[in-house]
A and B are shown apart, each in its own frame.
Chain A
Amino acid sequence: MNETCKIKVENLNMHIGKMHILKNINIRIPKNKITVILGPSGCGKTTLMKCLNRLTDIYPEMHVAGNIFIDDEEILHARNDITKIRKRMGLLSQRPYPLPMSIYKNIAFGLKISDRRKKKLLDMRIEHYLKQASLWDEVSDRLKEPASCLSIGQQQRLCLARGLAVDPDIILADEPTSALDPMSSQAIEKKFIELKKSYTIVLVTHILRQAMRIADYVIFMYLGEIIEQGPARDLFNNPREEKTKSYLQGVFY
């Protein structure tokens, strides 16, 4: 691979009790590209995602072994400052989880500008991130209203804006469009293509069409194993593995 590698996962194994969820995962995720992790439901895509920003920490039944490097910095076993590691990654989950507060405060939550004198700066930043997530026009006149009054599609874009507000360099998106209508999905996809200039995007999906539309690099997973990985064009046009081929053809069992 000639691109710079942003995330490197080496020999990652994860068990829940006796179940082997992730089996010897080795992947490289290139910088400023959209990497799609593709695979059928229940193959460990979401779990892999949780390992990346160490959400596995809050589930003691998950035992993780191996190494994850971000910019050559080991993060999986780092003991110090997990919050700092997590803030380098914005997370977009399967369905939006807006915080129980106003639209304004949802974004401000990650910004941590609590100084009252910097109110103007805060306003500007919030406008900036809402515009980045193409939500500003819809909510600019009701920033003080609770986030719960937004539609699901708007909530997901709010979560994107909120994730961007912590100033990450990676965006982890876990089937971000699965709860959305086609229009909202398209808005999110378009946004991702714009955002990849400045962010490294990891997108988990089981929607083949979506992967084909936006992927630069594809990792195909099946039953906790990496079956195949490579640049999107190569993998979609000339899959090397039998399983990849059948998934692409839609004849998967």
Chain B
Amino acid sequence: MTKKLLRKIEEGLFRSLMSLSTCIIIFALCLIVFSILIKGIPSLSFEMISQTPRGGFYFGREGGILNAIIGSLYLATGATALALAISLPVALYMNLNLISRKKTVNAIRFLLDLLWGIPSIVYGAFGFSIMIILGMKASLLAGIIVVALLIIPIMIRAMDEGFKMVPPGLTESSLSLGATKSEIAFRVFVKQCFPFIITGVLLSFGRAIGDAASVLFTTGFTDRIPTSLSQQTATLPLSVFFQLSSPIPEVKNRAYAAAVVLTIIVLMISILSRLISGRFKKTSIKF
């Protein structure tokens, strides 16, 4: 009898702890989103997202943050594409060619997790020091490369988690159909794990577009929309940062409006990728 009661208490305790932590997370998220929306929506106007800063923009006069919106999209898209081109082959190689060397693969995974944890300012400083050695100036290209380095570990590990779950039986039966390793990689693994690849790309894109520290030194900041890879580029996080540090209240409020734009972009990318991966989920086999 007491045993039964004890189990009931235990069950109740852990269940309430779980609901509590869920509530805390949801509450924190809502708090952030609402505070951005409340402060940002009033300053959000069409002018804000359709024009580049004019003279006196940073003193509260006319102009918008189109330079930062476009710059951020360029930067994040470029970095995600570059990172994908490197991460996908690495993740496939880890799970197809190195699968027999468990220790090596685990070491790689550990190193990637370590890289994941490194603050982005360190990547920025690293990129900056390389740029000084090479005599490069802050540019969109430099930013793309540094941000790609920052998100590669995230992307590889996200894809790796998917590839890890491919049952050996699927590899075996593909092999017995006379498939080569690259055919298995790109025709079987990629299709089977498409939702995981999308998740990896999404996570990385979110990180790439939201990171301020790594682009601080490497892409610089400008009021113009970049027309080539060698030009300096504005980014939304830095735009938020610069405006927020202004003493003028109107400019400060615009920082929140820029944050709203950033949040909406991430949300849109997220919804879009869910739609894409939903279409492919049907194809992958459940084991």
Contacts and interface: CB of A to CB of B under 8 A. Distances in A.
Interface of A: 50, 53, 55, 58-61, 83-84, 86-87, 89-91, 93-95, 97-102, 109-110, 112, 146-149, 159, 162-163, 166, 172
Given A55-B175, A58-B175, A162-B177, 6 more contacts: A83-B180, A84-B178, A93-B172, A100-B191, A109-B187, A166-B177
A61 B173 CA distance: 20
Interface string B188-217: 100110000000000000000000000000
B176 A148 contact: no
A93 B178 contact: no
Given A58-B100, A97-B167, A148 B284 contact: yes
A163 B282 contact: no
Query: Chain A: interface secondary structure?
Result: mixed
A91 B178 contact: no
Contacts of A86: 175-178
B236 to A, nearest CB: 37
B179 interface: yes
Nearest to B286: A148
Contacts of B192: 100
A14 to B, nearest CB: 16
- Residue with the greatest number of chain A CB neighbours at <10 A, chosen from B177, B286, B287: B177
Contacts of B270: none
Contacts of B230: none
Interface string B69-102: 0000000000000000000000000000001110
Contacts of A109: 174, 177, 179, 187
Nearest to A106: B177
Nearest to A91: B176
B135 interface: no
B178 A166 contact: yes
Contact of B176 (A53, A84, A149): A53
A116 B53 CA distance: 53
B177 A110 contact: yes
A100 B177 contact: no
A100 B284 contact: yes
B277 interface: no
A146 B281 CA distance: 10
B283 interface: yes
B173 A93 contact: yes
Contacts of A94: 169
Contacts of B101: 60
Contact of B173 (A91, A102, A146, A148): A91
Nearest to A82: B175
A85 B258 CA distance: 61
Contacts of B180: 83
A91 B172 contact: yes
Contacts of A83: 175, 178-180
A95 B176 contact: no
B48 interface: no
A110 B178 contact: yes
B285 interface: yes
B115 interface: no
Given A86-B178, A93-B173, A97-B173, A146 B282 contact: yes
A147 B177 contact: no
Contacts of A112: 178
Contacts of A90: 176
Contact of B177 (A50, A58, A148, A163): A163
Contacts of B167: 97
B112 interface: no
Contacts of A84: 178
